[in-house]
Chain A
């Protein structure tokens, strides 16, 4: 009985060492179909660009490509909430706050002046609306008269 104890102890030591070494060994390559490989993001598709003749708003920047980053993207024209957006599309495609709806959806305030073309004169300031001031003295109008407008 006494002679079996050293042999048993030696066997236990050898087993522990082998399993310890194996568990500490690095895994160089993932097996196909493992979770590690599936978590690699696929290449983002290029964003669809507008092909229509959008000359009125041609100065709007192209949509940002899809990325996995959570960092916000700063828009050049100050669209979105506070000029920042986190998604694929801007939240307001209608820049015309004073269209035929009477400007009731002008919730983003006035962006005038942010997209003035180079060399524009007085572009940063919207003109005075009809009825708020006299017509310009350009020789066409009778001085002091105001236009009458009706839209249906």
Chain B
């Protein structure tokens, strides 16, 4: 029985280290707003509203980022903030699922996910969705205000 202690101890030590980062899935359902594809900016602030970083940018043309006003105010429109985390805009009625390998420290530490949205020929919607990143909110379908019907954060 004693030879089993060493592997057991090693496994126990590794589990917390592996748990420091976990794939987190963001599922966004758009409303049928009747317009072109929406630009969406996903970014995180701390409890005081200070910008921490971007998680995703839906829409590849930098010249339109000024209409994602919350994100733009925080970043100055610096596209380096969304290098490698930019994809296509999202059409009305469509859904977008993004899976990111995020640090566990993001949860239950007062951080907040913001989603700004904007659509061609329609008005901008900063903070279309605002979700406190807490364990309690995981798996909950959080409603949006305008173009976003809901966002669900799950692990």
Mostly, the B contact residues are mixed
With CB as the reference atom, state the residue of chain B lying closest to A94. B36
Q: Flag if B97 contacts A149 (CB, 8 Å).
A: yes
- Complex CA gap A119/B57 in Å reads 21
User: Which A residues touch B144, using CB under 8 A?
Assistant: none
User: Which A residues touch B99, using CB under 8 A?
Assistant: 147-149
The size of the chain A interface, using a CB distance under 8 A, is: 54
User: Which B residues touch A113, using CB under 8 A?
Assistant: 62-63
Given contacts A55-B67, A152-B95, contact A121 B85 (CB under 8 A): no
User: Which B residues touch A124, using CB under 8 A?
Assistant: 62
Q: Flag if B89 contacts A99 (CB, 8 Å).
A: yes
Question: Closest CB-CB distance, A146 to chain B, in whole Å?
Answer: 7
Q: Flag if A136 contacts B52 (CB, 8 Å).
A: no
User: Which A residues touch B79, using CB under 8 A?
Assistant: 121-123, 125-127
B75 interface residue per 8 A CB criterion:
yes
Give 19 A-B pairs besides A55-B123, A136-B85, A149-B97 with Cβ atoms closer than 8 angstroms.
A54-B121, A56-B121, A57-B121, A96-B89, A116-B77, A117-B66, A120-B62, A120-B77, A121-B75, A126-B86, A127-B60, A127-B80, A129-B60, A130-B86, A135-B85, A140-B53, A146-B84, A151-B97, A152-B97
